[in-house]
């Protein structure tokens, strides 16, 4: 087993590859990881005021978006590189790929470099479940999963691990996606129901998760599909011009967001007036604002993903690596014997 680099050898940066991330997940156990990561994210939400916050830096194109998501709590700095290209699946590529870095603020030296395609899926699901812990109806046991792509299994298992749901009702316009999700969820302790329509999927569901990929204003849920007392976990509308919910639903719901300056540009609330009231989730975590206030209330998590959640995920992985062999040491930082003599280091390496 390896010990993570100490200050004396910090020119070497721990790198977690896709293969090692998968090994780490299996070593911990996916549901345990989802539950523990939800706690890490909530812990960081509770100290929200400490963080540098900025909307992600996005480069949009007709095909998709490439984004950088930075933040710091004053002690550690993190950023994630992530893309979102909905048409990639037609070419056999992932819609979303990502990698991330954690660094020591006092020196500027990186302390972790890792794949974040898998980790983003896990942290997104953990965030959804952490929020539902505060907003979902008491005793919620059934979730409708609308959109059965790459996120659907993680979302379902996170709600099981954190909230204790026992039933997931699946719907996707692509029947093959639903069959894929049902097959993957078999044997994980959930009752899985494949549905022919979104209305059928929502029968008896206390939680509705929408996770579709089209980069357009869309109406995945119309107003008449949403009854009183449900919690909506809207995670698919996450960039300008991309939404999933009819505006009338937004007017009926109590809306909770991560970081309003980002969500008003990217989230479902881009359809509303700029001054439409929303509640910042960190205030719910700290008790400064109410979560669900009545059984009949519709709560909506307008999720777009925020850098602090990635910070939490990177922090979690860093904490879980020590004493394992699930990383490589990358020689990626120049480390001359004399910090002023970078040229001399180069000369001494002459073949």
pLDDT value of residue 186: 98
| Res. 1 pLDDT band, cuts 50 70 90 | low
Q: What is the DSSP letter of 232?
A: E
Query: Do 57 and 151 belong together in one domain?
Result: no
- DSSP notation for 57-123: EEEE-SS-EEEEEEEE-SSEEEEEEEEE-GGGGGGT--S--EEEEEEETTT--EEEEEE-HHHHHHH
Query: Do 172 and 298 belong together in one domain?
Result: yes
Is residue 8 predicted with pLDDT exceeding 60?
A: no
Query: Do 185 and 289 belong together in one domain?
Result: yes
Tens-place pLDDT, residues 241-250: 778 899 999 9
**The whole model's pTM is what?**
0.93
For residue 274, the domain's CATH number is 3.40.50.720
Average pLDDT over every residue of 316-335: 94
For residue 319, the domain's CATH number is 3.30.1780.10
Residue written as tokens 């939680």?
Answer: 207
Q: Mean of the per-residue pLDDT values for the chain?
A: 93
271, 287, 305 - which closes a domain:
305
Tens-place pLDDT, residues 177-193: 999 999 999 999 999 99
- Radius of gyration (C-alpha) of the chain in whole angstroms: 21
5, 321 contact by CB (below 8 A): no
- Residue 285 belongs to what domain range? 137-305
Query: Do 213 and 246 belong together in one domain?
Result: yes
| Res. 67 pLDDT band, cuts 50 70 90 | very high
pLDDT value of residue 216: 61
Query: Do 227 and 320 belong together in one domain?
Result: no
Contacts of 161 (CB under 8 A, 6+ apart): 31, 32, 34, 35, 38, 129
Report the percentage of the chain scoring pLDDT > 90: 83
- Does the residue 203 lie in any domain? yes
pLDDT value of residue 335: 87
| Number of neighbouring beta carbons within 10 Å of residue 201 | 25
For 148, phi then psi, to 5°, come to -115, 40
Tens-place pLDDT, residues 191-227: 999 999 999 999 999 999 999 866 566 778 888 999 9
Query: Do 146 and 287 belong together in one domain?
Result: yes
* Sheet strands (E) in the chain: 12-16, 57-60, 65-72, 76-84, 98-104, 110-115, 142-146, 167-171, 191-194, 207-210, 217-221, 231-234, 243-245, 254-257, 279-280, 299-302, 328-331
Query: Do 204 and 296 belong together in one domain?
Result: yes
Is residue 320 predicted with pLDDT exceeding 80?
A: yes
Catalytic annotation, residues: 238
- Does the residue 132 lie in any domain? no
Query: Do 259 and 155 belong together in one domain?
Result: yes
Report residue 56 as tokens: 């992600």
- Does the residue 130 lie in any domain? no
**3 state SS of 253:** coil
Query: Do 162 and 232 belong together in one domain?
Result: yes
Cα(115)–Cα(113) distance, rounded to whole angstroms?
7
């Amino acid at each position: 087993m390896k010990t993570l680099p100490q200050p004396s050898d910090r020119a070497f940066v721990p790198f977690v590859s896709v293969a090692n991330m998968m090994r780490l997940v299996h070593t911990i156990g996916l549901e345990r990881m989802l539950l523990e990561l939800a706690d890490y994210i909530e812990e960081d939400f509770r100290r929200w005021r400490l963080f540098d916050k900025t909307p992600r830096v996005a480069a949009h194109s007709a095909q998709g978006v490439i984004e950088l998501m930075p933040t710091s709590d004053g002690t550690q700095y993190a950023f994630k590189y992530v893309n979102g290209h909905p048409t990639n699946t037609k070419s056999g590529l992932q819609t979303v790929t990502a990698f991330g870095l954690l660094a020591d603020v006092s020196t500027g030296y990186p302390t972790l470099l890792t794949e974040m395609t898998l980790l983003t899926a896990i942290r997104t699901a953990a965030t959804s479940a952490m929020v539902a812990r505060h907003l979902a109806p008491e005793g919620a046991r059934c979730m409708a999963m609308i959109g059965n792509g790459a996120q659907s299994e993680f979302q379902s298992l996170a709600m099981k691990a954190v909230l204790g749901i026992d039933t997931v009702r699946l719907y996707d316009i692509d029947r093959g996606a639903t069959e894929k999700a049902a097959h993957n969820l078999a044997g994980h302790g959930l009752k899985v129901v494949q549905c022919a329509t979104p209305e059928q999927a929502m029968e008896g569901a206390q939680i509705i998760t929408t996770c579709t990929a089209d980069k357009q204003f869309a109406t995945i849920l119309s107003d008449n599909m949403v009854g009183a007392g449900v919690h909506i976990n809207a995670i698919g509308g996450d960039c300008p011009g991309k939404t999933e919910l009819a505006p009338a639903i937004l007017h009926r719901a109590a809306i909770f967001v991560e970081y309003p300056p980002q969500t008003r540009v990217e989230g479902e609330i881009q359809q509303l007036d700029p001054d439409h009231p929303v509640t910042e989730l960190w205030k719910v975590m700290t008790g400064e604002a109410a979560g669900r206030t009545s059984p009949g209330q519709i709560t909506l998590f307008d999720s777009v993903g925020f850098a602090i959640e990635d910070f939490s995920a990177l922090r979690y992985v860093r904490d879980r690596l020590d004493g394992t062999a699930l990383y490589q040491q990358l020689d990626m930082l120049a480390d001359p014997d004399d910090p002023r003599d970078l040229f001399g280091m180069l000369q001494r390496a002459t073949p």
